[in-house]
Amino acid sequence: MRAKDFLCSVRGLQGAVRKDGNNVLILLNKWRLAMKMILSTIVGTLLLAGAATASEKCRVPMTDWQPREALQTKLEGEGWKVRSIRSEDGCYEAYALNAKGEKVEAYFDPKTFVAVDMKSED
């Protein structure tokens, strides 16, 4: 496109805006609506994702947590070889080989030591 043509088309557009202010307003509103929908979808997804990650498997106030050594002792008493215990999703998460020698990843309520979730593979 030559510079002259470009200028002409820009002027044409300006003219159209002046003459046809109403149509432009309608377009603008449609545009705003579309942006709102896109943005709210993004924000909604982010909020949902945030809620999903924030949702904890266990809900126990810190003062009620038993020491992790107690969990280790309990599991070892059941014949487990405990590799590591960490806190995750509000629970204790233990990596261990259970009595059958299977690899397990298990979540325990930090107050009652009830198993909340357990994955194992051999």
Partner 1 sequence: MQTLATVKVWDPLVRIFHWGLVGSFAVAFLTAEDIRDVHEVAGYVAGGLIATRLVMGFAGSPYARFRQFLRSPVEVVSYLRSMIRHRDRRYIGHNPLGGLMVMVLILAMGGIALTGWLQTTDAYWGVEWVEELHEALANLMLGAVAVHLCGVVFESIRHNENLVAAMISGRKRAPAPGDVV
**What residues make contact with partner 1 under the rule CB under 8 A?**
83-84, 94-97, 101, 103, 105
- Least distance in angstroms from the C-beta of 103 to partner 1: 5
- Nearest-CA neighbor of 14 among 4, 1, 5, 24? 24
- Least distance in angstroms from the C-beta of 107 to partner 1: 13
- Least distance in angstroms from the C-beta of 53 to partner 1: 9
What span, in angstroms and rounded, lies between the C-alpha atoms of 26 and 51? 37
Q: Which is nearer to partner 1, 26 or 48 (CB)?
A: 48
Q: Which is nearer to partner 1, 32 or 83 (CB)?
A: 83
- Alpha helices, DSSP H only, in 1-122? 3-19, 21-54, 68-77
Edge-to-edge strands of the sheet including 91-97? Answer: 81-88, 91-97, 103-108, 115-121
Q: Which is nearer to partner 1, 40 or 84 (CB)?
A: 84
- Least distance in angstroms from the C-beta of 42 to partner 1: 18
If one counts every other C-beta atom within 10 angstroms of the C-beta of residue 108, the result is 24
Q: Which is nearer to partner 1, 71 or 96 (CB)?
A: 96
